């Protein structure tokens, strides 16, 4: 992680330098069309990151942190349903029919996506957060009261994660009860248990 942080700081400084350079020279129109990435990682690095390795190295830090795509663009039902929704390949392809990666390792991951799409083989993402089958967790009830930006309370700062990992122990009743007590929310066993 330290290496990552250093790399991040390093590219940040470089990016800053580049901005100053671009602003101060007559070549401003040559500024990169895409925003600089917070740090460069290849798919080989993903094995060393926290959280399970995914079939495609999909990066929230790039899509959300850099590109500022709202969570609900992909997790489309989080405010209306218990399940937040996982984007279909068509959602990805809405951009990636056109958008390509910039170096060979990014391109290889985007090629995987295109191949899967062409073969109509949905990507089998590895699930990270899931509660036991006897528990009911309605996302929409939480978003309605805690707000659309409350994701961080339970999922951590996903916008900075190159690979998603679990920050809170959601498989512990105490995590739910503590907040329900603080906010005076229903604590009947049957509210959460089937
Ligand atoms: C709103 C547009 C948009 C959507 C939707 C989108 N992407 Fe991207 N994606 C981008 C952009 C822009 C980049 C950055 C390209 C670059 O700078 O290399 C990118 C980069 C990537 C990369 C390369 C990451 C790297 O290491 O640089 C992969 C892999 C990827 N996307 C997969 C996906 C998958 C899978 C989905 C669907 C779950 C998806 N994308 C949805 C716009 C999008
Ligand atoms: C461009 C599409 C896209 C956007 C935008 C996006 N996500 Fe995701 N998200 C995905 C995909 C694809 C997965 C499954 C692969 C993975 O875990 O990386 C996922 C997985 C997750 C997971 C883990 C799911 C599990 O299995 O437990 C969480 C938590 C999550 N996203 C939260 C967020 C939050 C919070 C935001 C906004 C800050 C956000 N996502 C924005 C596409 C997106
Ligand atoms: C109060 C805590 C809490 C908040 C707030 C919250 N989540 Fe979750 N999230 C959970 C729990 C618990 C699960 C596991 C649910 C289950 O297994 O049914 C989960 C699961 C997920 C998953 C995996 C779903 C799947 O089908 O693979 C995604 C994606 C996700 N959340 C995204 C979000 C996004 C985006 C937000 C904000 C808009 C958000 N969550 C807000 C607690 C929360
Ligand atoms: C950060 C605070 C917080 C956490 C953590 C949290 N909740 Fe909640 N929960 C709320 C709030 C706020 C409501 C909304 C009550 C309302 O609609 O007025 C709520 C409502 C609910 C409801 C609907 C209750 C009813 O009145 O029928 C269920 C079910 C629920 N939560 C389950 C869970 C489970 C399961 C977990 C843990 C995995 C959890 N919650 C974690 C704050 C939280
Ligand atoms: C706010 C939601 C919530 C309420 C209210 C709640 N539980 Fe739970 N309970 C959970 C969650 C989340 C788990 C962990 C499930 C998992 O392993 O993923 C759990 C787990 C359990 C377990 C399994 C053993 C364990 O500790 O993991 C038992 C038994 C249990 N609850 C009983 C109860 C009883 C009895 C009540 C009422 C007094 C109650 N629960 C109220 C959310 C809740």
| Residue 148 to residue 5: CA distance in whole angstroms | 28
Residue 177 has pLDDT above 80, yes or no: yes
| 129 close to ligand 2 (CB < 6 Angstrom) | yes
- Kindly state if the Cβ of 161 falls inside 6 Å of ligand 2: no
* Residue 164 in contact with ligand 5 by CB distance below 6 A: no
Report, as an integer, the average pLDDT of 63-90.
97
**Residue where the block lists tokens 């990992």:** 165
| C-alpha distances in Å from residue 36, one per residue of 13, 19, 21, 160 | 11, 10, 14, 14
81-107 pLDDT, tens digit each: 999 999 999 999 999 999 987 777 778
Average pLDDT, stretch 20-36? 41
- Token digits for 39? 């740090």
Q: How far is the CA of 171 from the centre of ligand 5 (A)?
A: 9
Cα distances (Å, whole numbers) of residue 151 to 16, 28, 133, 144, 174: 30, 38, 22, 12, 18
Query: pLDDT band at 189, cuts 50/70/90?
Result: very high
pLDDT at 19 over 50: no
Indicate which atom in ligand 5 lies nearest the CA of residue 130.
18
Ligand 1 test: best mutation among 39, 55, 99, 122, most atoms within 8 Å of CB? Answer: 99
Distance CA 95, CA 88 (A): 12
Kindly state the average pLDDT of the residues 172-192. 96
Q: Token pair for residue 182?
A: 């603080």
The whole-number average pLDDT for the span 40-62 is 90
Q: Tell me which residue of 182, 130, 129 sits closest to 158, measured CA to CA.
A: 129
Residue 126 has pLDDT above 80, yes or no: yes
Instruction: State the chain's mean pLDDT as an integer.
Output: 83
Query: Is residue 154 lining ligand 5, measured as CB closer than 6 Å?
Result: no
Q: Quick one: what percent of the chain has pLDDT higher than 70?
A: 80
Query: Lowest mean pLDDT: which of 32-46, 85-99, 109-123, 126-140?
Result: 32-46
Decide which of 44 and 81 is more confident: 81
- Is the model more confident about 44 or about 181? 181
Distance CA 85, CA 78 (A): 7
Query: Residue 175 and residue 154: Cα distance in Å, rounded?
Result: 9
Residue 192 in contact with residue 170, Cβ under 8 Å? no
Residue 10: pLDDT band (50, 70, 90) is: very low
Q: What's the CA gap between 8 and 136, in Å, rounded?
A: 39
**18: pLDDT strictly greater than 90:** no
């Amino acid at each position: 992680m330290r290496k990552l942080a250093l790399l991040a700081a390093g590219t940040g400084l470089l990016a800053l330098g580049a901005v100053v350079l671009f602003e101060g020279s007559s070549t401003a129109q040559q500024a990169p069309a895409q925003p600089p990435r917070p740090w460069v990682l290849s798919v080989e690095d993903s094995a060393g990151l926290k959280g399970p390795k995914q079939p495609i190295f999909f990066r929230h830090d790039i899509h959300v942190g850099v590109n500022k795509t709202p969570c609900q663009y992909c997790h489309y039902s989080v405010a209306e349903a218990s399940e937040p929704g996982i984007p279909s390949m068509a959602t990805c392809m809405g951009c990636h029919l056109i958008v390509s990666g910039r170096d060979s390792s990014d391109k290889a991951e985007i090629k995987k996506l295109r191949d899967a799409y062409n073969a109509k083989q949905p990507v089998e993402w590895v699930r990270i957060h899931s509660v036991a089958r006897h528990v009911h967790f309605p996302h929409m009830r939480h978003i309605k009261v805690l707000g659309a930006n409350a994701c961080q309370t339970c999922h951590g700062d996903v916008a900075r994660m190159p690979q998603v990992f679990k920050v809170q122990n959601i498989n512990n009743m105490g995590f739910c009860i503590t907040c329900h007590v603080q906010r005076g929310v229903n604590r009947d066993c049957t509210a959460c248990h089937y």
